[in-house]
Chains A and B, each alone.
Chain A
Amino acid sequence: MRRAALLLATFAVIYVCNFFIPRLMPGDPLQYSSSVSGEDMTVAYNAEQLEQLRAYYGLDQPLLTQFGRTLAANLRGDLGQSIHYKQPVSTVILSRLPWTLGLMAFSTALSLPLAVGLALLCVRRPRVDKAVYGVFSAICQLPPYLVGLALLFLVAARVDWLPLSGGETAFARYAHFGQRLADLALHGLLPAVSLCVVSLPGYFFTARASFLSVRRQPYLLGARSRGLKEGLVRRRYILRNAATPIVAKLFLSIGGLMGSTLLVENVFAYPGVGTVLREAVRYRDYPLIQGVFLFSTVLVLAGMLASDRLCAGLDKGVRHAG
């Protein structure tokens, strides 16, 4: 409960900050931001766009009124109007969201079982453990987009059956659903693998620590003393009892995975939220940037809340049993 309150407070703080960011810039934020020119980011809002932005931000109103109106609008699901896409921000994000979520799910489906399997192996084989542990602790901070780039020009550019970019083959007609799925998987493979490389060490370390702690429990010796089959012991005793921290870690790493996904999508021009974000950045599409930010914040906080619930539930269960 405490934790939930904390997360709620966190969200409130983030929300308020998000509200104030464009209003804290010196001078007229719109004038200021439209005059900034990055590399090939020539942004000049036309009169109509400026009007739109003004209307969205309501800069001529008193601050409290502005806040009230923004809050009310956001609660209705209205995150403002995207300048670049000329659509409501929520529409833009929702249309791209399945891609991003799908990519995250795909990479997790790759990395989690791999990490758990490796951890199981390492717990039993000290020599493998030493090697894997060393390699993972070296690569666990590699930036995901670098891995993506490396994969792109080391692998994708070499073989012709792997697409270099995009989420699916453009204008393709599929004979059946399976074919479409194969196409999607092929396009998502490299982005997912780069994400997987980056998130693998985190899962691995958690799973390894969890297995090691379970291995020290007396009930494991008890199971062996009853002559249970090794496979059964591994499934029913080790995996089941070590699962909770691993799942909690899964939820906790949503934030990091989200950030990595946003970056990796850009490497592969994957049609998810990340590429939208980059477009938004390039065109200084502020409502869209803030919308993506709010959206990812909610996702991350929800992940943390879920992880807390899970751990709390486990603790309660243990206490109940004891």
Chain B
Amino acid sequence: MPGRAGGERQRKSTLARAAVQLLEPSAAPGGRVWLDGQDLTALPPKELADWRMAWFSICFQNSHGWLNPSLTLGQHLEELLARRYPRAGRAHRAAVLAGEVGLEVADLGLLPRQASGGMVQKTLLALALALDPAFVVLDEPTGALDEISRRQVLEVIRRRAAAGTAFLVVTHDVTVARQLCARTCVLYGGRVMELAPTSELLADPRHPYSRGLIRSFPELYPQRDLWGIRPGPGPREGECPFRGRCTQCTADCDRGVPELADIGPGRQVACWRGGIAAALTARDIKKQFDGKPVLTEANLRLDCGETVALVGPSGIGKSTLAAILAGFLAPDSGRVLVNGEPADYDKLHRTPGGVQLLWQDSFAALNPRFTVERAVAEPGVLAKLWSTPQQQRERVVQLLEQVGLDPTPELLARPTANLSGGQAQRVAMARALALNPAVLVADEPTAQLDASGRANLLRLLKGMQNAAGCALLVVTHDPHAARKIADRVLLLKAGRLEAVDPDRIEQELEDAQ
């Protein structure tokens, strides 16, 4: 029972209809569909019509439009049952079906426009199941249902599946997929991005699109702030369809459409980089000060485009680890890989796509004598990114807009000493973003702020990360902040890192002390 998940307009329904050969000829379908070894595309239309509903069926996305407005719901059922059952048993059979999907017998007498959306949906499902087909395509089967009806419908599908019917569920509702489907296939831009056992997919998506999609469900991440995949250019011909929004795409990703490739038992992903890539990997980082070990064996993997919070009690070595990962402190031993290569921080700090640190105190990180423009331009000037003053000005303006500042001439010319606290933070962020880092490390960004300032900063930081698509490591001692913005939370404890359930951060922090 594969489910297919995908965002809006990822042509799930098209694929579903193609599977049952219901596309208009104008759609010029290509490719083939096999069912039990029989090539459906090769069947003559008449034979195909005979097989419909009996061998394979489709339950459309809920709408009155699928039903004949002058027939009652019951008449629809009986019409179909007539293909197999004698007249005498039909009414009984219809009642049984109605009971199975949760319709009252009385409802069967209603015309489609008199029925509620839920009734229509249930009728469509009953129709699809009426002739006990071996293969059923369900297009958003629970879209219009209330919670009780939903549970009923899912239960029906589950029972049928247990009895041997194969279901293809098309849905954008992750809980449906989670409750119904053994395997899930993720579509984007009309292409399969990832195929995996549903539980594995939800716990550990391997394609940036699947990950972004799954992490956008508040059902799965109730504590976290809601952030979707960053907007960007849509799919283009001849290259990876997700490229425009992908946080880990490289220049190589335009060489064509990636094919699905095996990446593990039952798992396939279509990505030129072989699925989600690690932006930064730290292995066995050790560091001691004055003979006192601070980090004994810190291991960390930071994937492209994700936000990870590093929590731990004060004085446990969080900032030390942050400084090591950001390249401002050398570890005693251990290795740091950035984009799969041993980290050469001199280069990473100075080139786009590298590693940047967002300093704890933004005022200290800004020369009070510099103007805003000069401060924001400094990284690019030093990296010799810009050849003309216009280019520099344009990029500065763009960066300031990115961090939510209005780049008026007055602001550009203002000394950073005269900025407000919030503005200074934004300017410091613009500096960190100037080189488009692949990894951004933020060391206690909210340490000196009141609650309101903290909230603003966290939203800004997360929004900036989301838009820029960099991997973000936030060091904090605040469990609530960590829960709010992080995709994953790591706890530093006795010199090691361990993953923490976001709901249990407080307890873990207490234990660590």
Direct contact of A and B (CB under 8 A): no
Query: What is B's interface to A at a CB cutoff of 8 Å?
Result: none
Query: What is A's interface to B at a CB cutoff of 8 Å?
Result: none
